[in-house]
Structure formats: C-alpha cells, structure tokens
Amino acid sequence: MSTPTAATAIRWERGDDGIVTLVLDDPAQSANTMNAAFIASLTAVADRLEAERDSVRGVVITSAKKTFFAGGDLKDMIKIGPGDAQRAYDTSMEVKRGLRRIETLGRPVVAAINGAALGGGFEIALACHHRVALDAPGSRIGCPEVTLGLLPAGGGVARTVRLLGVADALLTVLLEGRQYAPRRALEAGLVHEVADSPEDMLAKARAFIDAHPESRQPWDVKGYKIPGGTPAHPKFAAELPAYPANLRKQLGGAPYPAPRNILAAAVEGAQVDFETAQIIEARYFVDLVTGQTAKNMIQAFFFDLQAVNSGASRPDGIAPRQVRKVGVLGAGMMGAGIAYSCAKAGIDVVLKDVSAEAAAKGKAYSEGLLAKALAKGRTTEVQRDELLARITPTADPGDLAGCDAVIEAVFEDPALKHKVFQEIEGIVAPDAVLCSNTSTLPITLLAEGVQRPGDFIGLHFFSPVDKMPLVEIIKGERTGDEALARAFDLVRQIRKTPIVVNDSRGFFTSRVISHFMNEGVALVGEGVEPASVEQAAAQAGYPAKVLALMDELTLTLPRKIREETRRAVEEAGGTWRPHPADAVIDRMVDEFGRPGRSGGAGFYTYDEATGRRAGLWPGLREHFTKPDVAVPFEDMKERMLFSEALDTVRLLEEGVLTSVADANIGSILGIGFPGWTGGVLQYINGYEGGLPGFVARARELQTRYGDRFAPPELLLDKASKGETFTD
Ligand code: NAI
C-alpha cells in the first residue's frame, strides 16, 4: 500500500500491522540528498505522522536507492554566500525540526540503513531510536563533513555528543570524519545491530518496534547524563584546555575553520539542553557554509575529485580494459611499491630485476607491508597469501610473456631505460601499454627507444606508492589515445587517482613542488630564522616542513636538475635566471658538506644510530641568519603558496596542463598543496578579492622579492575579464 505525500522525496508505505515505512526515494536523483524536495517531504511526513499517531505502531526509515542517503546537496551548498546566512540558518533549523518531531513522536522509529549513510544520511539515522545497518560491501557510516570544511548540522553534533560522550564523538566521528564499515560502526556504538540481508534488516527493525512500543531517545529521558561527563564536570573541565591545544597541534596552525567550529559546537552544546544545542550547532554551521574554505574543499574533494576519477581527462570512445598481468621492471623502492599496489588490486605481477635476489627483495617489501597489516587486523592470512602468490619475482625477461602492461622503474638513466624496454618488447603482449615511472626524463625522449612509441606513456607514481593516492600520467608527443585510455584505466584499476599532463621538464608535480622548496630555502638565504621558515610552511597548511622535505629529496638532485634545465634553456637561446635558493644549496653542499638526509646531514642533523631527524642544524643560524631581517610572516607563507600557483598558471599557458580539476587534485594529493585552498588554481579563485586581488598581491610580492612573482598573461587576462579558473 503506497500513498504519495504532498512532496515525494519520501514515500509513505503503511502496512496492515500499523508500521509505517518511510522510503527515501527522490525520483529526480540517483541518490537522496538533503535538497528542498527532501526538506518539504520531511515536514509533510512529520505532519502526517502526528495526525495519524494513534494508529501508527512504529516507523521504519529506509531507502529505495543503493545508498541510504547521500547527505547535503553540495551543488546548492557551494553557492551559499555570506549574504545567505539567514536562509542557511533557517534551512538547517527546518531539517532539525522535522527530524526532532519524528524523534519525539512517542512511537518507535528505526533506521534500516540499507547502504552508505554519510553526513546527512547518518544524521537521519541518529534521530531514530534504533539503527540497523545492512552489512553491504563498501557501505560506510559516519560524519565526514569536516573533510569538506563543514559540520554535521542536522543534529549530528548534538546527537553524537549525547550518544558517545564529548571526547569520543569529537575524536573520531566529528573531527576526523572517519567512515565506518557497518561492523566497525557497531563496535564504535554508532549503530545497534548489523544485518546480513535486507530481509534480516527489516525483521530486526520490526522486532525492535514490537519490543519497544513507546521509544524515546536516551537524551530525552529525565536525568540522562552524557557519557564521560559534561564539560561542566570538574574532571572534564580540567581536560578541556588540552582540546584546543591538541587541535592546534594537529592542524599545525593551518587555517581550517571546521575543526574549531566543531569543537566549539560540541563543547558548548554539551552544557545546554538539546534544543539549545541544535541552535548552537546551526550557528557554527552557518559560519562555515557561508565562508570560502568550505567552498574550496567542496570544489576539490567532491566536484574536482569526481571529475578526475570519472575520466574527464580520458579520451572518449575507447572501451575500458582491465589489465590481467603486469610486468614491473626494477624491484627497487618504487618498483616494489608498484608491484604491491597492482597485486593488491588483483593483478598478476611479474617483478623483474637484474638478479633473482634483487627481485626477491622487491617482493619482500610486500611481505613486510602485509605482516604489518596482519598485525593490525587489516588483512587476513588468506588474503595475504593470495596477494603474495600474485607476485612472481624474476631475473628472466622471458617471464614477461603475456603481460598486457609494463611499468618500468629502473635507475633514472635513459640508456638503461631504453635497454630494458628493448629486452621485453618482443616478449610481452603485442599491444601491451608501455609505461615509465621516470620522475625527470622526457617521455618523448624515452619513447624513441621503443618500436611502438604510440603505446609509450609516463606513469609517475609517488613515494611511498602504497600510501600515495595519486598517479601523474604523462603523454609524450607520440603517445596515442589508446595508450592514454589504458594507462588511465590501469590507474583506476589499482584504485588510485589519475591526472593527465603533457610532456615537459618535471611534468606538473615535480616542477611545481620545486617552487615551494626553493622559496623555503631562499628565505634561509635572506637571513630568516630557519625555525620560522618551517613554521610558515606549517601555518600555510603544508603537511611537510619545507627544509625537512628538501633534505629528504637530497640537495644534489635539484642541483642536477637545475644544470640540465639551464643547459636546455641556453641551447634554446633563452636567458637562464638563477633562483635565490641556488646559492644556499651550493653552499650547503660544497662548503658545509651537507647534501641532505641520505648523506647523513642537511638542513637538519640526523641521529647517527637511528638516522632519525634530530633538529635543525645550528650552523644555519651561524652562517645565514641575520638579526635585522624582517620578512613579514604573511609574506613567507604566501611566497610559498604564490610561487606554486603562479607556475601552475604558466603550465596551463604552456599547454602542459589542460584541466583545472587535474591541477587542483594533483597539487593536493601529489605534492601536499594545502587542502583548505581547494588546490592550486582554486586557491587563486578563492583568494580575497578574487583574481584581481590575487594579481594585486602577486605584484606586491614581485616588487618586494623579484620577478618570479610576476603574474602571467593568462592570469591577467582572466582577471580583466572577470573569469575564474574552471574546466
Ligand atoms: P631504486 O634505485 O630503488 O631501484 C631501481 C631498481 O632498478 C634497482 O633494484 C635495480 O637493481 C633495478 N635495475 C637496474 N637495472 C635493471 C635492469 N636492467 N633490469 C631490471 N632492473 C634493473 O630506484 P627508485 O627510487 O625505485 O626509482 C626508480 C625509478 O622511479 C627512477 O626512474 C626514478 O626516477 C623514478 N621515481 C622515483 C621516485 C622516488 O621517490 N624515489 C618517485 C617517482 C619516480
């Protein structure tokens, strides 16, 4: 029996047993979101439930879609400006009121969570007295709003705090935004039961209704105490000051407003009654949703990421293909990691090195990772054995017979790379895609060494491969569309995010990150206290300290790249402009013998026994730091951010980059550009005053620090036309 309500995003189905099933099923969308239709339906449903209360025995909320409920409507949210604060507040309160009316109906309400319930979806479930989650593969439950610069504003803060206690709610659910598989959600106390099948789920829902004719939330029972005590409790009050301090430490001073607002909403909301807590939550939400950071993060982590992963940069009209057997040439640090990632995705791997021992050592890397995963309960012995069985270490090129893809990761030497491809070209499948993981060599040059340059492409992984989510795909001049499509599909098959760029020195990622490091080093050369330089990088939101990163990379590498670039520029008749960082790097290497971490000494000192970073080298202050130097802290941060953003615009001008989404995602996932910016080009879009504001500030930096901050033509052009960087 099905009667449509006034608005139709929620279907009302009433059984003969007096149980009303509210089916979330927005006919206009593939997933349910908290849009206007939903909100109107929610109010209509609450009206009807109240009107028919006497004949309703209980309520089950479930969904007809694959996911239970997708959450807030991000297309709408990203448009909410500072002028829309009142409207955003009213909408948030309307959702809360609707859920609250159902929660306080005096009838048992059960969430039958048939698929992912993240953000708004989990908040609907939280308003129910009982939550049964179907153990569907890939299903996730939680409040990931913080990862989009927001907070759960459908009562999610108020209810998780009351359900779990302030500390637990904050630490995992709200501040980390962790997404739980159904069984983990059960362990964490987020759901009450897990069901093995849809029938089991509904049976459990009904059983709860039968057993609890008049359900109430624990927090609506008189005398309810928040687990772990309220912030007013002396013990809690003593711990409270540590919260903001820990948060600051966690964020490194980076400008993420959401965690601060979540903390405030949770702590303030725990000291008042439920209704007031909801108002507090709405106010902190409005502050976030009308601000720039949430827009940046929604753009990057939702829209851009979706565009990139769904194949916006993949050529059209080429049927997707799965790789079954991949040959990995070179079982060193990168080859070993690539082999692991491929095997993990179910691909058979032939891991080839110069000797059987070297190849076996590469496989041992996977064994090590799996031993750790097993110890942490993240894999099973069966899964471990299956994965390891997929990796065949060898020194014999003949074992690559039948490989439909090859990924080369031998030493960074063009002659060697040519040689290893020649060795296997006649052995692998005749149409195998040929990929190189080179970090600096031109793909077009490497392609000259193979018989099928159209099938040759760059596949630039990041270290450590098993952790880093990005792969930069590099098209050489002769790379064909088929090879690009297959490389793209391979990256998706191993569950990583691909960005696509055209061939150029340093590609996109290596070239852009070098500007960040150079600015840090240049500041040392200008006499700035080295600890302040590291502090500036952290406060700008970079995940790594800039001088520490330079040490990791080794100072001799940028020197080598610099020399090659200089030669190339001069051969092409151009003028080579040294960077102020060059002189510092030269002195560090030549005068002080400190080439970086692998050489045992760099900007930092390293513990001889453990190799661990011990502290900044005191000699830096002695040789470089000047007492009277006064580079404003804001300039230090923005020099790092601007130098990367400006060169990204140049890369767009040069046609190396062709997609804004690829640039934004590549910068965050590949080279640690701060997430709060939404990526390197969104940073320009979202800068105060928009593109004209960014141009004005670039000119200011140019005047103070040199022509490397001169705004490129493309930026000036877009600024004058009132445009932004979009695809
Ligand atoms: P590595 O030195 O750890 O490994 C290179 C491996 O290649 C060694 O195991 C060596 O025995 C093997 N090899 C040498 N000649 C061979 C041959 N004829 N046949 C088969 N194997 C042979 O080097 P790493 O760091 O793994 O780098 C490999 C490639 O990946 C380089 O092109 C590098 O530029 C690139 N890359 C490195 C990154 C890094 O962070 N280390 C990041 C991205 C790319």
Q: pLDDT digit string (tens) for 564-574?
A: 889 988 998 99
Return all residues near 500 (Cβ < 8 A) that are at least 6 apart: 313, 314, 473, 475, 484, 488, 658, 659, 662
Pocket test for ligand 1, best of 437, 496, 508, 598 (most atoms within 8 A of CB): 437
Q: What are phi and psi of 539, to 5 degrees?
A: -70, -25
**Which residue, judged by its Cα, is nearest atom 30 of ligand 1?**
409
**Which residue, judged by its Cα, is nearest atom 29 of ligand 1?**
409
Q: State the average pLDDT over residues 316-333.
A: 97
Q: How far apart are CA 24 and CA 30, in angstroms?
A: 11
User: How is residue 714 written in tokens?
Assistant: 């493309």
Would you call 29 helix, strand, or coil by DSSP? coil
The pLDDT of residue 147 is above 60: yes
Q: State the average pLDDT over residues 479-508.
A: 97
Pocket test for ligand 1, best of 340, 352, 354, 445 (most atoms within 8 A of CB): 354
Ligand 1 midpoint to CA 417 (Å): 10
Q: How far apart are CA 23 and CA 10, in angstroms?
A: 5
The pLDDT of residue 9 is above 60: yes
The pLDDT of residue 172 is above 90: no
In this prediction, what percent of the chain has a pLDDT beyond 70?
97
pLDDT for 139 equals 94
Q: State the average pLDDT over residues 131-148.
A: 94
Ligand 1 midpoint to CA 410 (Å): 3
pLDDT for 89 equals 97
CB count within 10 Å of CB 527 equals 15
Q: Report in angstroms the alpha-carbon separations of 435 from 195, 358, 415, 438, 484.
A: 45, 21, 16, 9, 10
Q: Tell me, using a 6 A CB cutoff, whether residue 352 lines ligand 1.
A: yes
The pLDDT of residue 241 is above 80: no
The pLDDT of residue 232 is above 80: no
pLDDT for 3 equals 46
Taking the CA of residue 337 as reference, the ligand 1 atom at the shortest distance is: 26
The least confident of 225-239, 342-356, 487-501, 633-647 is 225-239
Q: Tell me, using a 6 A CB cutoff, whether residue 461 lines ligand 1.
A: yes
Q: What digits encode the pLDDT tens for the residues 632-682?
A: 999 999 999 999 999 999 999 999 999 999 999 999 999 999 999 999 999
H/E stretch holding 195: strand 193-195
CB-CB contact of 656 with 649 (8 Å)? no
Q: Tell me, using a 6 A CB cutoff, whether residue 513 lines ligand 1.
A: no
Q: What digits encode the pLDDT tens for the residues 14-25?
A: 999 999 999 999
Helices (H), 169-256: 182-187, 198-211, 234-239, 242-251
Q: State the average pLDDT over residues 199-210.
A: 97
The interface pTM score, or ipTM, of the predicted complex is 0.96
Q: Tell me, using a 6 A CB cutoff, whether residue 411 lines ligand 1.
A: yes
pLDDT for 171 equals 79
The contacts found for 44-49 with CB under 8 angstroms, 24 or more apart, are 44/5, 44/6, 44/7, 44/10, 45/5, 45/10, 45/12, 45/98, 45/102, 46/97, 46/98, 46/101, 46/102, 48/5, 48/12, 49/20, 49/101, 49/102, 49/105, 49/107
Q: What is the DSSP string of 196-207?
A: SSHHHHHHHHHH
**Which residue, judged by its Cα, is nearest atom 8 of ligand 1?**
332
Q: Tell me, using a 6 A CB cutoff, whether residue 415 lines ligand 1.
A: no
pLDDT for 6 equals 44
Closest CA to 462 of 439, 435, 483: 439
CA dihedral 270→271→277→281, nearest 10 degrees, is: -70
pLDDT for 247 equals 72
Pocket test for ligand 1, best of 329, 334, 355, 463 (most atoms within 8 A of CB): 334
Q: What are phi and psi of 719, to 5 degrees?
A: -60, -40
Q: Tell me, using a 6 A CB cutoff, whether residue 439 lines ligand 1.
A: yes
What pLDDT band is residue 7 in, cutting at 50, 70 and 90?
A: low
Q: What digits encode the pLDDT tens for the residues 571-591?
A: 989 999 899 999 999 999 999
Pocket test for ligand 1, best of 425, 439, 445, 473 (most atoms within 8 A of CB): 439
pLDDT for 5 equals 46
Q: Tell me, using a 6 A CB cutoff, whether residue 506 lines ligand 1.
A: no
Ligand 1 midpoint to CA 437 (Å): 9
The least confident of 126-140, 224-238, 625-639, 640-654 is 224-238
Ligand 1 midpoint to CA 409 (Å): 4
Q: Tell me, using a 6 A CB cutoff, whether residue 285 lines ligand 1.
A: no
Pocket test for ligand 1, best of 400, 410, 413, 424 (most atoms within 8 A of CB): 410
The pLDDT of residue 237 is above 80: no
What pLDDT band is residue 1 in, cutting at 50, 70 and 90?
A: very low
Q: How far apart are CA 569 and CA 322, in angstroms?
A: 41
Q: What digits encode the pLDDT tens for the residues 602-633?
A: 999 999 999 999 999 999 999 999 999 889 99
Q: State the average pLDDT over residues 364-376.
A: 97
Q: State the average pLDDT over residues 393-408.
A: 98
Q: How far apart are CA 97 and CA 218, in angstroms?
A: 18
Q: State the average pLDDT over residues 197-202.
A: 97
The least confident of 253-257, 454-458, 606-610, 639-643 is 253-257
Taking the CA of residue 361 as reference, the ligand 1 atom at the shortest distance is: 9
Q: Tell me, using a 6 A CB cutoff, whether residue 422 lines ligand 1.
A: no
Place of tokens 């501040």: 175
